[in-house]
Amino acid sequence: MATAKISTVILPRSPKGEFRNEPFTDFTKHENAQAMKEALVYVGDRLGHEYELVIGGERLKTRGKIESRNPARPEQIVGIHQKAGAEHAELAMQAALKAYEHWQYTSAEERASLLLHAAEIIRDRKFEFCAWLTYEVGKNWAEADADVGETIDFLEFYAREALRLSRATTPIQYPGEKNELLYIPLGVGAVIPPWNFPFAIMAGMTAAAIVTGNTVILKPSSDSPTIAARFVDVLEEAGMPGGVVNFCPGSGATFGNAIVEHPKTRFIAFTGSKEVGLDIHERAARARPGQIWIKRTILEMGGKDSIVVSADADLDAAVEGVVASAFGFSGQKCSACSRAIVEEPIYDVFIDRVRERVAKLTVGDPAANPNMGPVVNAGAMQTILEYIETGRKEGRLISGGNKIETAERGYYIEPTVFADVAPNARISQEEIFGPVLAIIKARDYEDALDIANNTEYGLTGAVYSNDREKLNKARLTYHVGNLYFNRKCTGAMVGAHPFGGFNMSGTDSKAGGPDYLYLFTQAKSVAEKLR
């Protein structure tokens, strides 16, 4: 990360018109495909750079290092990062507390302008950031483009929402008084993002925190710290004062826990696994000496997401939606369809159609833009392969089931489909986070909805049906945070599909929604008696 001059003056930028989602890039157009290829070359020449911690605007090195590697070519180092330990937690906290002294009083307009400026920078360099995602986590061009587009959307949307929140008023003005309702920041927060959306979710949680006046200690995933480092560069270029975001890659068991448990930490925004999310929640709930508040946790955790296919559905559309949801980014999404629940009358033909469609999927180096790239690392590959072995015992293998060997020793697994899986089987209940789909037979629509609700999760789901009564029933009884009708269960769009789930899927934080910024603020009522 190049040393940047950190400005303490943010040039005002106002939102231009109403919010509009960033359009997807059409890579069938020659000019876009060529721009992506050039970006891959440009970024490829910059792999292996060493990045420093950024604490209070200062660059620091540590003895321990984190190596981020290309999952398609594990010998290729994407970035070398410092490894923050427990000893850096206090340093980062003090820097964030010092920055908070002035950042909390910076106007909403100035804070929003920071996000808008950052969005402009990213938009101008979209293909470059896509290339970083391709190298660091194995996203093909479309998946990378969607990640970058969502990043821009979060910045633009939260900037507008912060301005709206700054103009909030009380429902009524009590006679003889001037009444105000102020949404003030919480303090210093830990932002702990995942590797699977290492740009959008990382930037979204960070942006929501700082645009509302908080300061942040950012601990990115060890599988994807480089894109986070690049984002911090963007914020500095956009005018972010030192200490507002402190970039600290490190171990969750040491640095991460130290920050979560610190008495001055006011909130933790986390996206990741159920197990880690629950551990953070438990650690945050325990008051530490000197702590004067109840810490807030904003948790987005796992999913075991189902698509229900009714007997009256458009079968071709259902097959496309299931395959896209199950195998996009190799199934490495908390929203991915890992269970297709199909009514008995169309069950056999659905299986045949899915087998035919999956056979057309291409798997390979994401730089060459196949349908599927690698899974993120060797540990993930081993876990997924173990689930596939379990699946061989619990169902009938329809497609895939094997590791794909490559000369570069990338972490590739065939898109895998099991049929005749029981609703309570392990591969029906446990989050696999890989390219594995279980197909479950339902007696009828009522049975299908019961099966869809039988996990501990409640993140996303979908129903394919042309029967309005069936859709209305699902609207009432299908217990997930994001429900889709006659479309895939992945691809939530900022503003249109506020994202977050029920039960063990998290605190239903609804990222990209109109109430998300409330989670990073506290309401203060002010009443003045008029003379």
Tens digits of per-residue pLDDT, 175-196? 999 999 999 999 999 999 999 9
pLDDT of amino acid 15? 87
Tokens of 28: 């069938």
| Catalytic option among 22, 136, 300, 431 | 300
Largest CA distance in the chain: 81
Q: Render 108-128 in DSSP notation, one character per residue.
A: HHHHHHHHHHHHHHHHHTHHH
Contact at 8 Å (CB) between 377 and 409? no
300 is catalytic: yes
Contact at 8 Å (CB) between 66 and 83? yes
Contact at 8 Å (CB) between 6 and 240? yes
Task: Name residues whose C-beta falls within 8 Å of residue 332's C-beta, 6 or more positions apart in sequence.
Answer: 196, 375, 376, 380, 433, 434
pLDDT of amino acid 6? 42
Q: Where are the beta strands (DSSP E) in 117-193?
A: 177-185, 188-192
Separation of alpha carbons 374 and 521, rounded Å: 39
pLDDT of amino acid 10? 58
Q: Is 394 left (phi over 0), alpha (psi -120 to 50) or beta?
A: alpha
Q: Is 329 left (phi over 0), alpha (psi -120 to 50) or beta?
A: left
Separation of alpha carbons 307 and 462, rounded Å: 5
3-class state of residue 184 by DSSP: strand
Residue closest to 529 by CA, chosen among 176, 180, 181 = 176
| Catalytic option among 22, 136, 161, 334 | 334
The rounded Cα 136 to chain-centroid distance in angstroms is: 15
Q: Give me the tens of pLDDT residue by residue for the chain, a chain 531 residues long.
A: 444 334 445 556 778 889 999 999 999 999 999 999 999 999 999 999 999 999 999 999 999 999 999 999 999 999 999 999 999 999 999 999 999 999 999 999 999 999 999 999 999 999 999 999 999 999 999 999 999 999 999 999 999 999 999 999 999 999 999 999 999 999 999 999 999 999 999 999 999 999 999 999 999 999 999 999 999 999 999 999 999 999 999 999 999 999 999 999 999 999 999 999 999 999 999 999 999 999 999 999 999 999 999 999 999 999 999 999 999 999 999 999 999 999 999 999 999 999 999 999 999 999 999 999 999 999 999 999 999 999 999 999 999 999 999 999 999 999 999 999 999 999 999 999 999 999 999 999 999 999 999 999 999 999 999 999 999 999 999 999 999 999 999 999 999 999 999 999 999 899 999 999 999 999 999 999 999
Domains of the chain, earliest start first: 53-64+84-126+148-301+509-526 (3.40.605.10), 305-493 (3.40.309.10)
pLDDT of amino acid 1? 41
101 is catalytic: no
pLDDT of amino acid 11? 59
Between vectors from CA 102 to CA 96 and to CA 103, what angle results, nearest 5°?
Answer: 65
